[in-house]
Structure 1
């Protein structure tokens, strides 16, 4: 495996590193990291066995792949030495909202730039990570990117024009689902379930339904109809969702998040 250098050692960097090690894609000796102030990187290194290298030149010198994982708002003030120090290297960014055109100003000499959009389930290897590149990836670099991103779950190549919508659905989508589960929990409490039962019922119902959907390969509508008896309990509940225009509300929710993603990604 190529040598990897992580600029940043927060939650996403930790998820990628732990995934790479758990899947035996890398050994700790292949990975080094740094972070602002150094404390986060030192803790990550101590818990994983990777190297903590605060000196930027020594960190990037041996690396073939540089993974940019600091806070997105820090990009504008990034060390100007990064341009020369990443010459000829593959640079992979996990910075939310940062376009390839923006990244290319900080890393103008990289052999290629890859933009990704991980979501929070990546922390447990259950994420979905779209990616795109400034130039077509060589076969070796494409395989390398996929190996790295599969440490987070599923990955898929997709044109950058879709990234605002991807941010709204994949990036923000988990929060929308968490809100749904919280609402189902509160509805269960209001219906009279005990306080120690309602949260578990809401969570396990969503988990089980999602697994069923994934394993059967059927459409959500087909599985919904299998649950729904004519004039039964499910039908009564679905009529309320229809009157409240549940799907239209979701469309408006995703549209608002997409618009905001576009605003945030403006250079």
Structure 2
């Protein structure tokens, strides 16, 4: 899953692809490099981000969706927690909903996902960090609540992907624990998506700034791929396609 942030303030690439031409060119490049999915986001989800309303978010993503729908043959994903944004993006041709609040922030979003019968990424999130909790149990309880909402809305279980939400309301230790627990997450019976590209946990471990976190991202993503993760959400597509190729070569030997 290649990341396409059409925002002015995302933590890694904010402002780089917030113009239509630049966004489309970057998406085309990621497809050429081997991205299977393009994930389009119109609102930053970094810690301390400035929230935007649905119309602002739609003004950012809709032109990109319309343009890419006619130019690439890969599925498009909309990264949003707003039902209004999801509905219009799906109507415009997006085929995956990626909700960083796991269907729990907007009470209407599960119904939208069900109405369009789309692949839906349910991500674990927390309002605040609590170093004392068992993070795996917290993730499981969150997913149970999200899955209940999905079932009530009529969203088929085979449409669901789970994401433990690395970097969202978690300590460094909790993030690392969840990465180690990918095999346990797989026992829940759903595909697992991991998004850790260039995140602050890598900076904390290696003392690197955002622009120097490719090596750390590659190492951790290689580990989770080898542990059974089904999708990785990344900024640097070509390097991760190479990593995936090597992981699969060993697995298939």
TM-score category, normalised to shorter length: 0.3 to 0.5
The TM-score with structure 1 as length reference comes to: 0.32
Q: Which structure features the higher share of helix residues?
A: 1
The TM-score with structure 2 as length reference comes to: 0.34
Structure of greater Rg: 1
